[in-house]
Structure 1
Amino acid sequence: MLKNYFKTATRYLLKNKGYTLINVFGLSIGLAAFIMLGLFVRVEFSYDEHLKDKDLIYQVYLNDTTDQIVNYAMQTMAPMGPLMVEQVPEITDKARFGAMANKVLKMNNQRFLVEKIYYTDESALNFFEVKAAPGGGRLSLGKRDMLLSQSTAETAFGTAAAAINQTVEIVGLGTFQISGVFQDVEDNTHVDFDYMISFENANDALFSGSSFKMDKTVFDWGVVSAFPLYIKLNEPSVDLAAIEKKMEVALEPHQKNREVKLVPVNEVYFSDLSHGYFGKKGEKDKAQLYLIIAIVILAVAIINYMNLATARYSKRSREVGIRKTVGGHKAQLARQFLTESFVITFIGLVIAICLVEICSPILSSFVGKSIGIDYGVPETYVVLLLITTLVSLLAGIYPATFLSRFNAIEVLSGRVTTGKKGSAFRTALVGFQVFICLGLISVTMIVQQQFKYMSDIDLGFEHDQIVGVSMEDKGVSEKYETFKTELLKNPAIASVTGASFSVFEGAWSLYLTPEGMEESLPVTYMPVEKSFVDRLGLTVSQGEGFPQEGELKTKEVLINKTAQEEFGWEEPIGKKLDGYTVVGVVDDFIYGSAKTAIEPLVMVPSKSGFSYAYVKLAGGNVRAAMDHLSATFQSFASDYPFDYKFLDDAFAAKYEKEQKLSQVFSTFTVLAIIVAGLGILGLSIFIAESRNKEVGIRKILGANMAQLIWLLNSGITKLILVVAIITLPLVHHFMSQWLDEFVYNIAITPLTLLLPLVVLIAVVWAILIFQSLKSAYSNPVNAIRTE
C-alpha cells in the first residue's frame, strides 16, 4: 500500500510540474533558512557547554553599593582571588586574567603586532581545559614562561615542536621562553587567547611603556581593579547566595560596600554583566530573533503549501469522489495526500541542504563563526528526518483533512463547495503571511534608516581625510616634534596634531570636583596638543581656545557644553576644576559612540606623551600622502609597525553590529517576500478557479477589464489594509524601544510606516495581476460551458 501511495504521489507531482515546482521552491527556501539560522543559534547557545567543570566554575562581578546606579564590574583587584581561596571553604581555586593590548613581539627574527597578550594563573589551563598540542611540550607558567597557541606557533616557527624553548621578546616588558604550545581554543568558549604569560608579571605588564611609578604594586589592595576573576567551587549543588555573602564578608576589610555576583561560566557569553573582555560577547535577544525569523520563514513556506494544495480542490475533488466510490476510505485518502506532502518536503530538504552547503561559508564569514552541517554524527540524520516528518505533517495535515472529507455523491454531481469555514481559514493564513511581510519590510526600512542616519551624523568635528596613527613606538612618541616636522615637509599633508587617546575608543575618566560642588564627578580627561582644537575643527562657543603662541599653560583647560551643564555653571570662564582653570567651552562632539550620551569632557593642553597623531591630508594624491606617512613613521619606529586608521572608517566600525543587523533583516525580508509571494500566487489561483464562472458571466454581461481585475483582487487588498492596522502600531511600539538604545536616532513618522505598506501592496499586485489578466482574457464560453 505504501509503495502505491508513493507511486501515485510521484505521478501526480510529475503531471502538475508548475504546482510541484512552486511548492518545492518555497519549502526549500524555508528549510534552508531554518537550517542555517538554526545552526547559528545552536552554536550561540553551545558556548562553554563542553567544559566538564561548567557547574563548578563562576566569574566574579562586583557592585559598589554606595553608587546610586547598580553597575556590576568584572574587574577585580589582584589580591581578591587568593583571599577567596583562603577564607571561603567552598572555593577551591581561582584564575585571574589581565591583558596587554597592541604589543610587538620579536620571535624567530620576525616582528608581530599582537592585539592581546594575556597574563593569567596556571590554574586557568585547567579551568578552560587548555590541552597541549602534538609536540607542544608540557604546559606550565613560570614567571618568564610563555605559552603559544598551535596556529600561532606554526605561523612563527613552522611547527609546534620547533617553538619549544625559543626566546620571545615582548617590547617594553622583556624576554620570555616558550615553555609549551597549546591546541587552539575552542570556538564555542567565551575566552580566546593565543599568547599567555604568568600572572606574576601583572604589575610590569599593566604599567609597561608608562613612566607612571608607584610605591605599591597591583598585588596590593587599593591600587587598581583591572582583572577578571574566575573561581571554582568544591561541589555543584551549593547555595550561591550564601557563598556570595561569605565573599562579601571576606572582602569587607579591603574593599568596603561591595556586592558580589557569581555568574556560571556557561552563562558568561550571554550575560548582561559581561562586556566581552576576550572579544566574544553574545546577544541572546539577537540569537532568539534570528531563530524566530527562521521559524517564521519556514511557517510561511508551510502555509504556502496549504494554500496551494487546497486551492486545487476543484481538480482533486473528482479524484476523491471516484476513489470513495470504488471503496476508498477517508483515512486512506488522507495518507495519500500526506505522502504527497512528504515527497515534496523531502525533495525540498535535499535542495535546501544544497543551498546550505553553498551559503554556509558566506554565513560563517559574515558572523565570524564556523556554521555548517556535521555529517559525521548520527544525530544529524535523526534531526533531518524529524524536520522532514514534522514539516510534512504540518504542511499536509490540513490539505489531507480538507480534501479527503468531500462527499462522493456531491463531488460527482458537481455540487461540491469549499464552505465558509475553509475560506476563512485560508484567509487567516494569508493574513499571517501579510503580517510577517509587512512587519519585516517595516523593521528593515527603520533599521536601514537608523544606520544611514548614524553614518551621516554630524560628529561635531572634521573627520574627512584625517588619519589616526598609533604612536606606541617610543622612537616615534619620544621624537614627536621631529616626526611631525618631517611629515609636514610633504605638501600632501596639511596638518598634524597629537592626542593621548583614540577618538572613537574613549579616553581616561577621572573623578574631579567642579567649583561650587561638594562631590566629585566622573569627567573624561583628554590631554591634547594645543593645535588639536583648530586642526579638528572644533567650535569654541565661549571663551578662547588654546593659545598657539607663547608658553604652554597646562592648567588652563577647555570643557565641553555637557560639562558646563552638568556642573551647573552659567558663566564657566574662570571656574576651577581641581586646580584647573576653565578658559573656554567647546561645542559637544562625538568622541565615543552615537549609542551613548556625550560625557562631561575636559581637554588639557600638553606637548608630549601623545599616543596618537591625527594627520590631515591635503586631498588630491592620497596614495602619495600615505606612502610618505608610512615611510616617515618607519624611519622613526624601532619596534612597532605602521598602524593607522581613517577616522571615517573608525567611526563606521563602531556600528558594525547595526550594519550586520540591517543586512540580516534585508536578506531575510527578501526571502520572506519571495516565499509569501508564492503563497499569494496560490491564493490568486484559488480565487480565479473558484470564481471562474462568475468572471465568465460578468464578461458576457459587459464587465470591462479593470472591473474584473478589481473583482478578483479587491479581497486581498482589503485584507492587507486590515492587517496593516494591527501590524504597523506593533512595529512602531517595538522599534521605538529599539531606537531608544541610541542617543541619536531617527523619528518614526507616518511616512516611515506607510511606505512599507505601499511597497507591499505594489509587490502583491504585481503578483496578482498575472493570474488576474489570465482569467480576464479567457474565453467566457469555456467558463460557463458546463452550465
Structure 2
Amino acid sequence: MFKNYLKTASRYLLKNKGYTFINVFGLSIGLAAFILLSLFVKVEFSYDEHLSQKDRIFQVYVKDTTNNIPAFEMQTMGPMGPLMVEQVPEIMASTRFGTMQKKVLKMNNQRFLVDGVRYTDPETLDFFDVQPALGSSNLKLGKSDILLSESEALKVYGSVQAAIGETIEIVELGSFQISGVFRDLPDNTHVDFDYLISFENANDAFFSGVNFAMKKTVFDWGVVSAFPLYVKLSEANLDLTAIEAKMNTALEPHLSNRVTKLLPVDEIYFSDLSHGYFGRNGEKDKAQLYLIIALVILGVAIINYMNLATARYSKRSREVGIRKTVGGHKTQLARQFLTESFIITFIGLVFAICLVELCSPVLSNFVGKSVGVDYGALESYVILSSIVVGVSFLAGIYPASFLSRFSAIEVLSGRATSGKKGAKFRAALVGFQVFICLGLISVTMIVLQQFNHMSNLDLGFDHDQIVGVSLADKGVAENYETFKNELSRNASIESVTGASFSVFDGSASLYMEPEGLEEPVPITFMNVETSFVERLGLTIKEGDDFSSEGELNRKGIIINETAQEEFGWDTPIGKTIGGYKVIGQVEDFIYGSARETIKPLMIVPSKSGFTYAYVKISGGNVRAAMNHLQATFESMASDYPFDYNFLDDVFAKKYEQEEKLSRVFSTFTILAIIVAGLGILGLSIFIAESRIKEVGIRKILGANIGQLIWLLNSGITKLILLVALITLPLVYHFMSEWLDGFVYNISISVFTMLTPLIALIAVVWTILIFQSLKSANANPVNALRTE
C-alpha cells in the first residue's frame, strides 16, 4: 500500500514541478536555518555540562551589604578559599585563579606575547577534568612548574615530548620548568587557559612590574580582592542556603558586612555575575532569540506548504471524489497526502544538509565556535529523522484532513472547496507570514540604526588616527621622554602624550572624599601627562588645563561634568577631592564603555609611570608613521614586542555583539522574506488560476488592466495593512525596552515604523505583479471556454 502511495505522490509532484520547487526550496531554506541555529544554540547551552563533578562545583561570589558595593563580585581575597575548606565542613576543596595579562614568555629561543598566564591551585586540574596530553606524564603544579596546553606545545616546540622539561622565562616574574602538557580545553567550557603556574606565585605575579614594595601579600586579608574562587562540596544536592550562611559566619572575623553566593559551575557561562573573566560568557536571551528566529523561519516554510497544499488540493477535488466513490477511506486519503508531504520534506532536508555543510564554516567563523553536524553520532540521525517526520506531519496534517473529511458528493459537487472556510484559513496563514516578515524587517531596521548610532557616536575627544601603544616594556617606559622625542622628529607624527590607562579598557576607581560630602564615593582616577587634555582634544568647560600650570602641580586636577553634578557643586574650581585641588573641568567624554553611564572622573597630572602612549598621526602617510613608530619602539624595547591599537578599532570592538546581532537579523530576515515570498508567489498563481473566469467576464464588461490587477492583489494588500496594526505597536513596545539597555540610544520615529511596512508592500507587489499582468492580459475567450 505504501508503495502505491509513494508512486502516486511522486507522479503528482513531478507533474506539478513549479509547485514542487516552491515547496522544496522553501522547506530547504527553513530547515537549513533551523538546523544551523539549533546547532549553535545547542553549543551555547552545553557549556560545562561535560564536567564529571559539575553537580558539586560552585563559584563563590561576595557582596558588601553596605551601600558602597551593592552587587555580588566574583573577585575574592587570596585567603578566602583555604578558610572555607577549613571552616565549612561541606566544602572539601577549593581553587583560585589569577591572571597576568599580556606577558612576554621566552621559550625555545623565541619571545611570545601571551594574552593571559593563569596562576591557580593544583585542584583546578581535578575541578575542570584537565587531562594530560598523549606523550605527557601525570600533571603536577609545584611553585616552579608550568603547564602548557597541547596546541601551545605543538606551536612552540613542535611536539609534546619536546616541550617536557624545557624552561620558560616569564619576563618580570622568573623561570619555570614545563612539568606537563594538558589536552586543549573543550570549546564549551567557561574557563580558558593555555599556561598554568602555581598560585604560590600569586603575590609576585600580581605585583610584577611595579616599582614599590608591599609589607603584606595577596595571601593576607585586606590587601586585594582579585581572584575568582571555586569550591567543591562533599556531595551533590546539599542545602546551599545553609552552606552560604556558614561561609558568611566564617568570613565575618576577616571581612564584616559580607554575604556569599554559590553559583553552579554549569550556570556560570550565562550568568550576569561572571562578567566573562575568562573571556567566555554568553547571553542567554540572545541564544534563545536565535532559536526563536530558527523556529519562525521553519514555521514560515511549513505554513507555505500548508497554504499551497490546501489550495492545490482544492483543485484535486475530483481525484478525491473518485477515490471516495470507489471505496477510498478517509485514513487512506490522509496517508496519500501525508506521503506527499513526507517526500517533499525529505528532499528539502537533503538540500538543507547541503546548505548546512556550505554555511557551517561561515557560521563557525562568525560566532567563533565550532558549529556543525556530527555525522559519527547516532543522535544526529535520530534528530534528522525526527525533523523529517515532525515537519512532514505538521505540514501535511491539515491538508490531509481538510479534503479527506468530506463526502464524495460534497467533493464532486464543489461544495467542499468553494466555501469561505478554506479561504479564511489561508488568509490566516498568510497573515501570520506577514506578521513575521514585518516584525523581522522592523526589528532589523531598529537594530541596524542603533548599531550605526553607536558606531558614529561623538565620544567627546579626538580619536581619529590616534594609536595607543603599550609601554609594558621597561626599556621604553623608563626612557619615555627619549621615546617621545624620537617619535616627534617624524613629520607624520603630530603629537605624543602618555597615560596610565587604556582609554576604553583601563582606568581604576578609588573611594575619595569630595569637599562637602560626608562619606567617600567611587571616583575614576586617571594619571596622565600634562599635554593629555590638549592632545586628545578634550573640551575645557571651566578653568584651565595643565598647560597653564607652569611647573607640574601634582595636587591640581581636572574633573568632568558628571563629577560636579554628583558632588552638588555650583562651581568646581577651587574645590578639593581628598587633598587634590580642582583647577579645571572638561566636558564629559566617553571612556570605558558607551553601554554604561559616564562616572565621576578626576584627571591627575604626572611625569612618569605611564603604561600607554597615545600617538596622533597627521596627514595621509600612515604607513610611514607606523613604520617609524615600530622601529623606534623596537630599538628601545628589551623584552616586549610592539603592541598597538588604533582607538577607532578598540572602540568598534566594544560593539561586536551589536554588529553580530544586526548581521544575524539582516541575514535571517532576508531568508524569511524569501521563504514567505515563495509562498505568496505560489498563492498568487493559484488565486489567478482560480479566478480566471471572473477576470474574463470583467474584461468583457470593460474592466481595464489596472482594475484587474487591483482586484487580484487588493486582498493581500488589505491583509498586510490589517496585520501592521497589530505588529508595529508590538515591535515599538519590545524594541523600546531593548533600547533602554543602552545609555546612548536612538528614538523610534514614525518614519522608522512605516518604512518596513512600505518596503514589505513593495516586495509583495513585486512578487504579485508578474502573475497579475499575465492574467489581466490573457484572452478572455480562453478563460470562458467550458471544460
- After TM superposition, give the deviation of residue 194 of structure 1 in Å: 0.1
For 1:172, the equivalent position in structure 2 comes to: 172
Partners of 1:618 and 1:271 in 2: how far apart? Answer: 44
The structure-2 alpha-carbon separation of the partners of 1:209 and 1:533, relative to structure 1 and needing over 3 Å to count, comes to same
**Equivalent residue, structure 1, for 2:458:** 458
Deviation at residue 418 of structure 1 after TM alignment: 3.6
Matches of 1:683 and 1:664 in 2, distance apart? Answer: 28
d(CA) in 1 for partners of 2:235, 2:137: 32
SS at match of 2:525: strand
Q: Secondary structure at the match of 1:620?
A: coil
Aligned to 1:488: 488
Residue aligning to 1:642: 642
Q: Decide whether the 8 Å contact of 1:531 with 1:548 is kept in 2.
A: no
Alpha-carbon displacement from aligned partner over 1:9-37 (angstroms, at most 9, x marks no partner): 11111111111110000000000000000
- Structure 2 CA distance for aligned equivalents of residues 259 and 516 of structure 1: 31
Q: Secondary structure at the match of 2:315?
A: helix
Q: Which SS does the other structure have where 2:676 is aligned?
A: helix
Amino acid in the other structure paired with 1:182: F
Runs of 4+ in 1 over 6 A off after TM superposition: none
Q: 1:723 to 1:68 in 2, by over 3 A?
A: farther
Question: 2:158 aligns to what?
Answer: 158
Q: Does the 8 A contact of 1:307 with 1:682 survive in 2? A: no
- How far apart are 1:548 and its partner, in Å? 5.7
SS in 2 for 1:117: strand
Name the Cα RMSD after superposition: 1.1
Matched, 1:506 2:485: no
Q: Which moved more, 1:581-590 or 1:265-274?
A: 265-274
Q: Which moved more, 1:549-558 or 1:137-146?
A: 549-558
In structure 2, the partner of 1:105 is 105
Alpha-carbon separation, structure 2, partners of 1:752 and 1:745: 14
Equivalent position SS for 2:175: strand
1:321 aligns with 2:287: no
Distance 1:762 1:435 in 2: 16
Distance 1:590 1:157, change over 3 A: same
Tell me the equivalent position of 2:45.
Answer: 45
Which amino acid letter does the alignment assign opposite residue 269 of structure 2? Y
Structure 2 contact 403–416 (Cα < 8 Å) conserved: no
Moved more, 189-198 or 615-624: 615-624
Alignment-mate amino acid for residue 145 of structure 2: D
Q: What SS does the aligned partner of 2:665 have?
A: helix
Q: Secondary structure at the match of 1:504?
A: coil
Q: Name 2:538's counterpart in structure 1.
A: 538
List aligned pairs for 1:373-392, cutoff 5 A: 373-392=373-392
1:768 aligns with 2:768: yes
1:123 and 1:344 mapped to 2: Cα distance? 55
The CA deviation at 1:120 is: 0.2
AA aligned opposite 1:358:
L
Aligned to 1:75: 75
Mapped pair 1:683 → 2:683: yes
Matched, 1:497 2:497: yes
Structure-2 change in CA distance of 1:578 and 1:70 (3 Å): closer
- Contact kept? 1:459, 1:590, Cα under 8 Å: yes
Provide closer, same or farther for how the CA distance between residues 307 and 184 of structure 1 changes in structure 2, counting only shifts above 3 A: same
Q: How far has the Cα of 1:592 moved from its partner? A: 1.4
TM-score (norm 1): 0.99
Between the aligned partners of 2:225 and 2:761, the Cα distance in structure 1 is: 58
Aligned residue runs from structure 1 range 242-261, under 5 A: 242-261=242-261
- Aligned residues of 1:317 and 1:406 also touching (Cα < 8 A): no
Q: Tell whether the 8 Å contact from 1:311 to 1:685 is kept in structure 2 after alignment.
A: no
Q: Deviations over 1:372-399 (max 9, x none)?
A: 0001111111111000000000000111
**Contact 1:696 1:783 (8 Å CA) reproduced:** yes
Find out whether 1:431 has 2:427 as its counterpart.
Answer: no
Instruction: Write the distance in 2 (CA, Å) between the matches of 1:413 and 1:123.
Output: 80
**Residue 83 of structure 1 contacts residue 250 of structure 1 at CA under 8 Å; is this kept in 2?**
yes
- Structure 2 CA distance for aligned equivalents of residues 716 and 453 of structure 1: 35
Equivalence map 1:252-271=2 (5 Å): 252-271=252-271
Question: For residues 510 and 267 of structure 2, what CA distance do their matches in structure 1 show?
Answer: 32
> What stretches of structure 2 of length at least 5 have no aligned partner?
none
Instruction: Give the count of matched residue pairs.
Output: 787
- Cα offset for 1:680? 1.4
Question: What pairs up with 1:389-428 in 2 under 5 angstroms?
Answer: 389-413=389-413, 416-428=416-428
SS of corresponding position for 1:312: helix
Amino acid at match of 2:227: F
**TM-score, normalised relative to structure 2:** 0.99
Report what 1:591 is aligned to.
591
- State the 1:414 CA deviation: 5.1
Matched, 1:28 2:28: yes
Aligned partner letter, 1:100 = M
Which amino acid is the alignment partner of residue 89 of structure 2? Answer: P
CA contact (8 A) 1:563 1:601 kept: yes
Aligned-partner SS, 1:231: strand
Query: Do residues 115 (structure 1) and 128 (structure 2) align?
Result: no
Counterpart secondary structure, 1:358: helix
CA distance in 2, matches of 1:124, 1:67: 34
More deviation, 684-693/298-307: 684-693
- After superposition, what is the alpha-carbon deviation per residue over 1:72-99, rounded to whole angstroms, capped at 9, x for unaligned? 1000001110000001000000010000
Q: Secondary structure at the match of 2:319?
A: helix
Cα distance in 1 between the residues matched to 2:642 and 2:237: 53
Displacement of 1:293 in angstroms is: 0.3
Match of 1:355 in 2: 355
After TM superposition, give the deviation of residue 404 of structure 1 in Å: 2.2
Report the equivalent of 1:527: 527
Percent identity over paired residues: 74
* Aligned twin of 2:92: 92
Shift of 1:695: 1.3
Report the secondary structure of 1:114's partner residue.
Answer: strand
Task: Give 2:19's aligned amino acid.
Answer: Y
Give the CA deviation at 1:415: 5.2
Partner of 2:710: 710
Contact 2:22 2:679 in 1 (8 A): no
Corresponding residue for residue 2 of structure 1 = 2
Matches of 2:313 and 2:378, distance apart in 1: 40
Deviations 1:410-455 (A, max 9, x none): 4444555342222111111111100100010001000000110111
Deviation at 1:782, TM superposition (A): 2.4
Quote how far apart the aligned CAs of 1:129 are: 0.2
Letter of the structure 1 residue corresponding to residue 403 of structure 2: L
- Give the stretch that moved more between structures: 533-542 or 545-554: 545-554
> Residue 84 of structure 1 aligns to a residue in which SS?
helix
Distance 1:717 1:329, change over 3 A: same
CA distance in 1, matches of 2:285, 2:275: 16
Cα deviations by residue, 1:614-660 (Å, 9 ceiling, x for unpaired): 00011221111110001000001111111111111111001000000
The answer for the alignment partner of 2:658 in structure 1 is: 658
- Partner SS state of residue 92, structure 1: strand
Alpha-carbon distance in 1 for matches of 2:485, 2:613: 12
Query: 2:146 & 2:777 partners in 1: Cα distance?
Result: 80
Per-residue CA deviation, residues 181-239 of structure 1 (Å, 9 max, x unaligned), is 00001111110100000000111111101113221100001111100000000110211
Give the equivalent residue in structure 2 for 1:191: 191
| 2:225 counterpart SS class | coil
1:555–1:579 Cα contact (<8 Å) kept? yes
Kept after mapping to 2: 8 A contact 1:137/1:161: no
Please give the alpha-carbon distance, in whole angstroms, between the structure 2 residues aligned to 1:174 and 1:314. 82
Shift of 1:400: 1.0
What amino acid is the match of 2:714?
A: S
Deviation at 1:409, TM superposition (A): 3.0
Which stretch has the larger CA shift, 432-441 or 539-548?
A: 539-548
Preserved CA contact (<8 Å) 1:311 1:682: no
Q: For residues 138 and 558 of structure 2, what CA distance do their matches in structure 1 show?
A: 55
Indicate yes or no: 2:197 matched with 1:201. Answer: no
Q: Once the 2 structures are TM-superposed, how far is the Cα of residue 307 of structure 1 from its aligned partner? A: 0.9
Contact 2:322 2:408 in 1 (8 A): yes
Once structures 1 and 2 are overlaid, which stretch shifts more, 663-672 or 612-621? Answer: 612-621
Q: Which amino acid aligns with 1:750?
A: V
C-alpha distance in structure 2 between counterparts of 1:252 and 1:422, whole Å? 72
Name 1:138's counterpart in structure 2. 138
Counterpart in the other structure of 1:582: 582
* Of 132-141 and 19-28, the range deviating more from structure 2: 132-141
Q: Structure 1: which amino acid aligns with 2:48? A: D
Q: For the Cα contact (< 8 Å) 2:313–2:399, is it kept in 1?
A: no
Q: Is the 8 A contact 1:95 1:231 kept in 2?
A: yes
Query: One-letter code of the match for 2:324?
Result: K
1:469-521: per-residue Cα shift (whole Å, max 9, x none)? 11100011110000000001110111000001100113011111000111111
1:678 shift after superposition: 1.2
Q: 1:147 maps to which residue?
A: 147
Q: How far apart are residue 330 of structure 1 and its match?
A: 1.7
Is 2:63–2:69's contact at 8 Å kept on the other side of the alignment?
A: no
**Retained in 2: the 8 A contact 1:306–1:396?**
yes
Q: Which runs of no fewer than 5 residues in structure 1 stay unpaired?
A: none
